[in-house]
């Protein structure tokens, strides 16, 4: 039973009231990604009384997450984000029904997971996932709340809301891996996901309760350095509203196409035998510090350096945080589908936290 | 003509905005449509031409390639961003 005074600051709010509170309690929201964007969404929706929250993530908490993923503490490093988040949300509001999905959202599971929910929050950090979410939401006719970041900037919009436009109406083609900044250069100021994530939470509440005007057909572009917000209007491109099935391939869909090995297992294996380790970071990063015995082939050079790799033996791909090595794994897999290769999850960062 | 830059376009050009000198200064014609603007930008900054999706907003509305532009319009380049 919900204690009546728990939400009194909302229910006493003119224009919100018990009726809107009941709508929150009845709603089911799926949050894809428990990083910088997903955490403020989860915390606020949980606090405000959304009845069912779905959480999707398979990542572990790492030291370099703490600068922006403020729900996590130093004690949480190495733990599953899903586990830590669900524990903290339970303590924050025991009434919420939490549905945890210990996976990444991929073309193989998206429809199954998305169909259970009323509103989807895209709090992911890669284009493949964003396009999968878009297409799944169009197929199942669900609105999704988009948020994305770059350096000191953020974007927010609500796609596929009623007859409104979709992500593809704005950005029809998915960017290729080559044009995506890699994790070493793609920095984010810690506060930015907090700002953009809370805006996503607000849009979610508006969709559920019907208060205000939903940010549909408008892309909000936020510039943190100048405190400028700009809203760009865009309209439906009819063909994007008609998607009947997911694509068979979302390019570098990291999550399902690149086999990985945990940093812990990798270290254990490495003690037992000599492994072929390819470090795909930049030459500068490699020269600064690298794993003894590893060979440096930057991700940009990979395609043209196949002769440096012995595909008769297993290949272990390594980078700083595990992102570039995943991408490298996807690239190599597309060129050498028969070869056996692994991306080391969490990369050198994770190895450092496993074996300090 | 001033073009505001966002996301990776800011990194490619190396500044938050870009000025295209008017014809009276350079003697060259300035882009009159969004399509001409795209090809002008791609020539000046080949990295921009490699972006799969790049939205161009004219006066805060998503513009089609055939839309006309003039030097009074506020133009912004908005690429998708992926961080989260």
Contacts of A230 in chain B (CB under 8 A): 57, 60, 76
Among chain A residues, the shortest Cα distance to B60 is held by A232
Instruction: List CB contacts of A297: < 8 A, sequence separation 6 or more.
Output: A278, A279, A280, A305, A308, A309
What is the CATH class of A8-241?
alpha beta
**Domain carrying residue B42:** 2-78
Q: Name the band, by pLDDT with cuts 50, 70 and 90, for residue A255.
A: very low
A173-198, pLDDT tens digit by residue? 998 766 655 444 568 999 999 999 99
A128-142, pLDDT tens digit by residue? 999 999 999 999 999
Closest C-alpha among A214, A213, A206, A220 to residue A48 = A206
A148 closest CB neighbour out of B53, B60, B84: B84
Domain count, chain B: 1
Contacts of B83 in chain A (CB under 8 A): 36, 125, 148-150, 186, 188, 193
User: In CATH terms, is domain A258-354 a member of 3.40.250.10?
Assistant: yes
**Residue A177: predicted pLDDT:** 65
For the ranges A46-50, A183-187, B33-37, which has the lowest average pLDDT?
A: A183-187
CB atoms < 10 A from the CB of B59, how many?
13
Mean pLDDT computed over A267-290: 91
Our CA-based measurement puts residue A185 at a distance from the nearest CA of chain B, in whole angstroms, of 11
**Residue A158: predicted pLDDT:** 98
A37 closest CB neighbour out of B10, B11, B84: B84
> Which residues of A form the catalytic set?
183, 319
Does a structural domain hold residue B84? no
**Residue A259: predicted pLDDT:** 77
Percent of residues, chain A, with pLDDT higher than 90:
73
Q: Quick check: ipTM above 0.85?
A: yes
Task: Look up tokens 């999707």; give the residue.
Answer: A56
Mean pLDDT computed over A79-85: 96
Our CA-based measurement puts residue A339 at a distance from the nearest CA of chain B, in whole angstroms, of 30
Mean pLDDT computed over A295-299: 94
SS3 of chain A: helix, strand, coil, percent, to 5: 40, 20, 40
Does a structural domain hold residue B83? no
Domain chopping of chain A, boundaries = 8-241, 258-354
Domain containing B16 — which CATH number? 3.10.20.30
């Amino acid at each position: 039973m919900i204690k009546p005074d728990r939400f009194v600051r909302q229910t006493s709010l003119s224009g919100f009231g018990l009726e809107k509170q009941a709508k929150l309690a009845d709603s089911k929201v799926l949050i894809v990604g428990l990083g910088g964007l997903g955490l403020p969404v989860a915390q606020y929706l949980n606090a405000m009384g959304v009845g069912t929250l779905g959480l999707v993530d398979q990542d572990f908490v790492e030291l370099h997450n703490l600068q922006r993923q403020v729900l996590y503490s130093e004690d949480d490093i190495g733990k599953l984000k899903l586990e830590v988040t669900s524990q903290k949300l339970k303590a924050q509001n025991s009434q919420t029904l939490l549905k945890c999905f210990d996976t990444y959202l991929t073309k193989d599971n998206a429809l199954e997971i998305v169909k259970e929910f009323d509103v989807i929050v895209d709090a992911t950090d890669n284009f493949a996932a964003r396009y999968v979410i878009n297409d799944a939401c169009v197929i199942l006719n669900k609105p999704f709340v988009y948020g994305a970041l770059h350096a000191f900037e953020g974007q927010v919009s609500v796609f596929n809301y009623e007859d409104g436009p979709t992500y593809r109406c704005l950005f029809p083609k998915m960017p290729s891996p080559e044009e995506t900044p890699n994790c070493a250069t793609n920095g984010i100021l810690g506060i930015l996901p907090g700002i953009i994530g809370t805006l996503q939470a607000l849009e979610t509440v508006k969709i559920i309760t019907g208060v205000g005007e939903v940010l549909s057909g408008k892309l909000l572009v936020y510039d943190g350095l100048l405190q400028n917000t700009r809203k760009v209007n865009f309209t439906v491109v009819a063909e994007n509203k008609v998607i009947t099935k997911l694509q068979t391939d979302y390019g570098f869909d990291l999550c399902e196409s690149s086999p990985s090995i945990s940093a812990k297992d990798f270290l254990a294996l490495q003690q037992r035998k000599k492994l072929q380790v390819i470090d795909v970071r930049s030459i500068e990063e490699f020269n600064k510090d690298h794993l003894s015995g590893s060979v440096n082939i930057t991700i940009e050079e990979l395609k043209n350096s196949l002769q440096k790799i012995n595909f008769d033996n297993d290949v272990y791909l390594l980078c700083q945080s595990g992102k570039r090595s995943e991408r490298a794994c996807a690239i190599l897999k597309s060129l050498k589908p028969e070869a056996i290769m692994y991306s080391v999850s969490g990369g050198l960062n994770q190895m450092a936290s496993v074996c300090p | 003509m001033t073009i505001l830059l966002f996301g990776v376009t800011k990194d490619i050009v190396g500044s938050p905005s870009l000025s295209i000198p008017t014809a009276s200064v350079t003697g060259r014609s300035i882009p009159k449509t969004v399509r001409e603007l795209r090809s002008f930008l791609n020539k000046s900054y080949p990295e921009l031409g490699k972006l799969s999706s790049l939205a161009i907003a004219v006066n805060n509305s998503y513009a089609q390639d055939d839309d006309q532009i003039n030097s009074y319009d506020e133009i912004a380049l908005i690429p998708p961003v992926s961080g989260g």
